[in-house]
Amino acid sequence: MFELDKYTDTVLLAYTVSIILLGTLIWATLSKSKRIKRALDAQEQKTDDKR
């Protein structure tokens, strides 16, 4: 049963804010992880080439 009443805006606002915060955290985590992994792979490749 999907019930929203006079508090619809309040509930939707709470969900929107939470989803934005969680989404930003997940995006930041994954993008930093990818960036650092790429940089480390490149650095290790450079190291292997020098050897």
Partner 1 sequence: MSLWEYANPAKFMALSARILPYLAIASSCLLLAGLFWGFFLTPADYKQGSTVKIIFLHVPAALMAINAWLMMLVTSLVWLIRRHHVSALAAKAAAPIGITMTLIAIATGAIWGKPMWGTYWAWDPRLTSFMILLVFYFGYLALWEAIEDKDTAADLTSTLCIVGSIFALLSRYAVNFWSQGLHQGASLSLDKEQHVDNTFYLPLLVCIVGMVLLFLTLVLIRTRTEIRSRRLIALRLRGI
Tell me the CB-side half-sphere exposure of residue 19, using CA atoms within 13 A.
6
Q: Which amino acid is at 34?
A: K
Q: Which amino acid is at 30?
A: L
Per CB under 8 A, 45 contacts partner 1 = no
How many residues touch partner 1 under the rule CB under 8 A: the total is: 35
Per CB under 8 A, 27 contacts partner 1 = no
Location of structure tokens 């619809």: 8
| Residues near partner 1 (CB under 8 A) | 1-8, 10-11, 13-15, 17-18, 21-22, 24-26, 28-30, 32-33, 36-37, 39-40, 43-44, 46-47, 50-51
